[in-house]
Amino acid sequence: MPHIVTDNCQRCRFTECVDHCPVQCFHADDEQLYINPDVCVDCGACIPVCPVQAIYDVVDMPDDKEPWVAVNKERASTLPIIGAKQDPLPTAEARQAELGF
């Protein structure tokens, strides 16, 4: 099963996950990252490095995050690939604190 990025990434867009991914499955818009489920190799390397715990294996995600499976598939298909770590959004630290991380 693929991995997905959830709403915890909104207003953060930390990209440590991109550096740990062995394939180029991450895509981004102005607010957050998304994973292309057709490219993800399900290695899980991205999960422990996400500073806001936004990434889940589909098998292990909470039920309330289910809609994010479709969101990732849809958004990743239309957005550019992020192939290297980038600076987080200016709102990232405040969002991280808001989430309690």
Q: What is the structure's pLDDT at 87?
A: 97
Interval 9-22 mean pLDDT? 96
pLDDT, tens only, 63-82: 999 999 999 999 999 999 99
Confidence of residue 8 (pLDDT cuts 50, 70, 90): very high
User: In this predicted structure, what is the pLDDT of residue 26?
Assistant: 98
Query: Residue 23's pLDDT is what?
Result: 96
Q: What's the token pair of residue 43? A: 């290695």
Fold of 3-99: Alpha-Beta Plaits (3.30.70)
| DSSP letter assigned to residue 65 | G
Q: Domain boundaries in the chain?
A: 3-99
Half-sphere exposure of 2 (CA within 13 A, CB side): 20
- Residue the block writes with tokens 């309690």: 100
Q: What is the per-residue DSSP string for 26-64?
A: EEE-SS-EEE-TTT-----TTTTT-TT--EEEGGGS-GG
CA gyration radius for the chain? Answer: 12
pTM (predicted TM-score): 0.95
When the pLDDT of each residue in the chain is averaged and rounded to a whole number, the result is 96
| Residue in 17, 36, 15 with CA at minimum distance from that of residue 25 | 36
pLDDT at residue 11, as a whole number: 97
